[in-house]
Amino acid sequence: MTNMIQVPAWLLILVLLFAAVTALDRVLMPSVRWYLRRRLERAVERLNQRLTYPIQPFKLARRRDTILRLRYDPEVAQAVLDFARERGIREDVAAQTAERYAREIVPSFSAFTYFAFAIRAARFLSRSLYKVRVGAANAAALEGIGKDKTVIFVMNHRSNMDYVLVTWLAAERSALAYAVGEWARVWPLQPLIKSLGGYFIRRRHNNPLYRKVLARYVQMATEAGVTQAVFPEGGLTRTGALREPKLGLLSYIIDGFKPGHSRDVVFVPVAINYDRVMEDRNLIHAEGGRGFRFSLKPIFRYLRLLVWQKLTRQATRFGMAAVSFGVPVSLSEFMAEHDSQADLLGQDLMARIGSVMPVVPFPVIAHAMASGIRSQEALLSAIQDRFERALAAGAPVFLPKRDLPYTIEAALKTLDGRRILQMQGDSFTLTEEGERLVAFYARSVSPILGDFPGEILPQKSSAT
């Protein structure tokens, strides 16, 4: 037992290496993970004290636990059986498919990434590109919602900047969970969005099993009180007008809601408008039938331009970006009056968004141009009239700090620089693309100012 045994040096090193790895995996790593998680929990507790709507434990749960909870949910299990019978496959194969869907949907929220990185980046980017304004905040109504209810911000979708803008503006209230389309499933956006609490949804190529897994995740998050942000239009507006709501997520929330037993859900309408949308040309071309594909190139191009302008001290912004909050809607009160009709809820929410649409300078100028005005002198009186009408209607109006003649001249100069307008003394003409671009911006304020003369809106699609 005490005899000396000689072993090669390489074997001793290998044994020691395996021992170190085992100790690291079985002893040190669990202790480190416990220590870090405990520190995170304490940080979240301090953070929740200043948030209007605290971060719920469901959002902080380990991603693997949420995936398994979805996988073994009774409704998902029944959907697995139905899927297996319909496709003629084994139940274990269908179960693996459901788990794959769950992994695809469930995010991996990181409070540190969200509040230490994302909020700062969103604030910097928003302020660098736009003069950000907030109107019709309805602070009293929002404060009166209470922490025992689930809050869902319902927004119109004009630009991919919407995510950035609202993430920053809502930072004092809660950490938002977004439903994000397949367009963002590209590196590096996919891991970043998941760490920020966003979950991906398929608009196409889905099936009843996928929809059931998605529905149950949305219902679990809603019942747990997770603050969410949804775009009922389902995608960016290609015409500039508010689109008909798609009822997928709203119907999931309504189907999982049990009046008197479930936590009440409060929808907060949020209206967003811009002096300039970065994707405007791509969107109007897509509306013309060319199709729209998300690309990181325009974002990188704008960031490169922004950095160059900062370095040369010639930074310019794209005008105003404004956000307004409408009157909240309680789901329990709505269902008491209308039963469980998702289409009526969707229409009501979109109407509330339209009623608080921010009226910012360039869309008002575009509304006058789309009405046929083609001279600077005539524009001045037409724009003054439109601002007065918007103020009389009680809309959130954001007047330019400089006088209107300067604002009009700057807008015409910008359009001339984009080669969609040609000046001829006091008068001007618009190219064909310019006519479509002006109409795109004019439609954003049509809920407040009304349709402009000769306007023919695209045929609205039925709600799906």
Q: What would the pLDDT profile of 333-351 be if each residue is shown by its tens digit? A: 998 888 768 899 999 999 9
Q: Check residue 136 and give its pLDDT.
A: 62
- Measured CA to CA, the distance from residue 264 to residue 333 in angstroms comes to 9
Strands 421-424 and 427-430: antiparallel
Residue 361, token pair as written in the block: 């300078």
Ordered structural domains, the chain, with CATH: 103-355 (3.40.1130.10), 361-449 (1.10.10)
Q: CA nearest 101: which of 28, 25, 202, 248?
A: 202
Residues 6+ apart with CB under 8 A from 156: 231, 233, 237, 242, 270, 271, 272, 350, 353, 357
Which residue's entry shows tokens 């590196």?
187
Range with lowest mean pLDDT among 53-67, 135-149, 217-231 = 135-149
Q: Check residue 351 and give its pLDDT.
A: 95
pLDDT digit string (tens) for 415-424? 998 899 999 8
Q: CA nearest 391: which of 359, 428, 423, 355?
A: 359
Name which residue leads in pLDDT, 172 or 106: 106
Residue 358, token pair as written in the block: 């921010």
Q: CA nearest 184: which of 203, 158, 165?
A: 203
Q: Are 322 and 135 in contact (CB under 8 A)?
A: yes
- For residues 20-26, give the mean pLDDT: 69
Residue 375, token pair as written in the block: 């001279």
- In degrees rounded to 5, what are phi and psi of residue 48? -65, -25
Q: Check residue 83 and give its pLDDT.
A: 95
- Measured CA to CA, the distance from residue 454 to residue 459 in angstroms comes to 15
- Measured CA to CA, the distance from residue 439 to residue 437 in angstroms comes to 5
Q: How far apart are the first and last CA of the chain?
A: 78
